[in-house]
Amino acid sequence: MTSLSPQRRPRVTIREVAQLAGVGTKTVSRVANNEPNVAPETAKRVRAAMDELRWEPDAHASNLRRTTTRTRSVGLLLGSVSNPFAANIHRAIEDVAVHRDVAVFASSVDDDAQREVAAVEAFLRRKVDGLILTPVAESQAYLAELLPPEMPVVFIDREPAGFSGDIVHSDNVGGALLATRHLLGFGHRRLALLIDRHEIWTARERERGFLGALEEFNVSPDDATIVAGLSNEDAARQAVTRLLATPHPPTGIVSGQNLITVGALHALRQLGRQRDVAVIGFDDVELGDLLDPGLSVVAQRPHEIGQAAALRLFESLDAGHRFPQESIVVPVDLIPRGSGEIRPASH
């Protein structure tokens, strides 16, 4: 495994120089490389921005332009390489790449938009042949300025904004529908959905599936609770503790991602409620089958996601150009193990 992490903040990106100078990143790159076809006044403004921001072009911009020679390397940007879901995607991509004698440079974005841009710039300085990205920034429009027009980009797990590229992701809406229908089928009518920040595309999609299942069963959304903004285990643990202390607590919980699931399980066990409140997690949890009761989950297929993303990228590289955008939706699997089959007390 080859890892690549951008330098720690504070650091200045080429995009920030371009914004201060009021130009595009390609213009900054041309000025940094002393290329022609830049108006003197524009070049002066760019250099002034470089000086003001103390930006070092030889370390950041001079190598952003990609040569026509292949480097047999690709850049991979994941949510976090420590997350088992992301780690499995990483492994699947490397399994495809190794047979082509291609190195994979990997970096974690940690839901930090500035880190996303910095990581892409780091990949481009190493003249990678293509990119596989998990987008977190509000818009990926900056890629149009940074990337050569022929460089292929495949987005995984989340849809991009402001830039057209192939997308490979799980069936988020369908998975949340499966989980919620399952709990409703066991008689639950007071449900809670625990999700990450609303800015994250997957969280919004899973909420959409949750609400769709409620509508199918003629359950009013007013009888359900949606808790958003849970980004770690402790936040989820506290949220579940508060929910169960309310006068009409949920009898079933749909967890929107694996870290949230772990926090919810901690809360239930601390309260001695693990056999009273049903739980289904979106994405599997390590050793979830060994819990008592076993954890019911909607399992994603990270190996299929990584493999599909890598194959699509290499198809585009072999063709020498980007293909028209394609969206590949990878199915999910409902795995009942016990926690999702707990019935509400009145049943």
Percentage with pLDDT > 70 across the chain? 91
The full set of domain ranges for the chain reads 2-164, 172-300+333-341
- Interhelix angle 40-53/14-21, rounded to 10 degrees, is 130
Tell me, what's the pLDDT at 40? 79
pLDDT tier at 248, thresholds 50, 70, 90: very high
Ranges 23-37, 171-185, 225-239, 289-303: which has the least confidence: 23-37
- What would the mean pLDDT of 144-152 be, rounded to a whole number? 88
pLDDT tier at 110, thresholds 50, 70, 90: confident
Name residue, tokens 């529908």.
177
Tell me, what's the pLDDT at 60? 40
pLDDT tier at 288, thresholds 50, 70, 90: confident
Q: Mention every residue, 6+ apart, whose C-beta is less than 8 A from residue 8.
A: none
Ranges 4-8, 69-73, 259-263: which has the least confidence: 4-8
- Buried b / exposed e over 16-32, threshold 16 CB at 10 Å, is bbbebbebbbbbbbbbb
Percentage with pLDDT > 90 across the chain? 61
- Amino acid identity of residue 250, one-letter, is P
pLDDT tier at 58, thresholds 50, 70, 90: very low
Tell me, what's the pLDDT at 80? 84
The pTM score is 0.78
Residue 62, pLDDT above cutoff 50: no
Are 146 and 136 spatial neighbours (Cβ–Cβ below 8 Å)? no
Euclidean distance between CA atoms 231 and 263, whole angstroms: 10
Residue 86, pLDDT above cutoff 50: yes
Tell me, what's the pLDDT at 59? 40
- What would the mean pLDDT of 272-297 be, rounded to a whole number? 92
Euclidean distance between CA atoms 186 and 338, whole angstroms: 12
CATH topology of domain 172-300+333-341: Rossmann fold (3.40.50)
Residue 218, pLDDT above cutoff 70: yes
- What would the mean pLDDT of 36-42 be, rounded to a whole number? 78
Average pLDDT, the chain: 88
Ranges 26-30, 159-163, 170-174, 325-329: which has the least confidence: 26-30
- Computed on alpha carbons and rounded to an integer, the radius of gyration of the chain in Å comes to 23
H helix intervals, 99-218 = 113-125, 142-146, 172-185, 201-216
SS3 label, residue 129? coil
Distance, CA of 341 to chain centre: 29
Residue 322, pLDDT above cutoff 90: no
Euclidean distance between CA atoms 114 and 116, whole angstroms: 5
Euclidean distance between CA atoms 19 and 142, whole angstroms: 11
CATH architecture of the domain formed by 2-164: 3-Layer(aba) Sandwich (3.40)
pLDDT tier at 346, thresholds 50, 70, 90: low
How does pLDDT run across 169-192, given as a tens digit for each residue?
999 999 999 999 999 999 999 999
pLDDT tier at 47, thresholds 50, 70, 90: confident
- Of the candidates 278, 277, 294, the one whose C-alpha atom is nearest the C-alpha of residue 286 is 294
Tell me, what's the pLDDT at 3? 41
Ranges 13-22, 84-93, 113-122, 277-286: which has the least confidence: 13-22
Distance, CA of 274 to chain centre: 30
